[in-house]
A and B are shown apart, each in its own frame.
Chain A
Amino acid sequence: MKISSFKWLFGRNSEFWPTNMKTGMWAWVGHRLTGLALVAYVFLHLSFISTASMAEGGADFDALMETTSQPLFVAMDFLLVIVVIYHAMNGLRVVLFDLGVGIRRQKLVFWVTMAISAVLIVGGLLAIWHLVFPEGVA
């Protein structure tokens, strides 16, 4: 396969070139990327949980949970929070439009769902803050 056959995807004239994308296109690309990331995460999640069957009484599972409660891992959890909330709220927007709800006010609906996302993400950040910065921030 020649590199040039991907021009429609990456080329300067492609619809995906950053300056050629409008809001709806960004929303769609974001939805697709977050969707694929979540599929990958499901497999990671299952492989973590599978440690429960490795040692009697779940010793390996507890050890792994100990590790994953370290600040670095919790910070990565926060990344997951952002990805899920964006995907869910934008998905909700897509479903509403398919049902014919809010199409006349497309722009408004987009920014309202994004505002709700932002609030939920801040809520998530507050909920895990003490795990990322156990000693508090000086």
Chain B
Amino acid sequence: MSEQRVATSKVAGTWAWAFQRISAVLLIVFLGVHLYAAHFMDVGAETGEEPLITFDEVSLRLDQLLYIVVDYGMLSMVLLHGLNGFRTVLFDFDMFVRRKKLIDVTLWVVGIGTLIWGIVILFPFISGAGG
């Protein structure tokens, strides 16, 4: 690696750095809520089913707006944090620093595209048999 290379933190920027830390703390909260909701509250337990995740059980849960908000919020945070982290890793390499614009655009497209995909794939559960 060349001696005069610019520090990755300079390339990535202060905002990216700060955001990585803020999203990290939020993710710990989301992870706690997610694990509790999915595995301990056991909304479908009264159906007397196996401790198996089923379509009906998830639908039942996603009848409540709170779950929808938590799920989509967590997905957004995970994508922002994960792709922002991946961006940092890329900028440790000169060949990617040289293509900063391209990388930034690509990561935003991948992130927003994945978010939309993630939102859409929950629709069957939300409109599903839970009601």
Contacts and interface: CB of A to CB of B under 8 A. Distances in A.
A38 B93 CA distance: 21
A38 B121 contact: no
Given A84-B31, A95-B24, A62 B55 contact: yes
A30 interface: no
Interface in A80-95: 84, 88, 91-92, 94-95
- Say what secondary structure dominates the interface of chain A: helix
Interface string B95-126: 00000000000000000001001101111110
Contact of B82 (A32, A35, A59, A61): A35
A88 B27 contact: yes
A3 interface: no
A66 B27 contact: no
Interface residues of B, number: 34
Interface of A: 8, 32, 35-36, 38-39, 42-43, 46, 49-50, 52-53, 57-59, 61-62, 65-66, 69, 84, 88, 91-92, 94-95, 98, 127, 131
A75 to B, nearest CB: 16
A53 B55 contact: no
Q: Which 3 A-B pairs have the closest CB atoms?
A: A58-B55, A39-B82, A50-B121
B96 to A, nearest CB: 13
A62 B82 contact: no
23 contacts: A8-B1, A32-B89, A35-B86, A39-B83, A39-B85, A42-B114, A46-B117, A49-B121, A49-B122, A50-B121, A52-B125, A53-B121, A57-B128, A58-B56, A58-B128, A62-B54, A65-B52, A65-B54, A91-B24, A94-B24, A95-B24, A95-B25, A98-B21
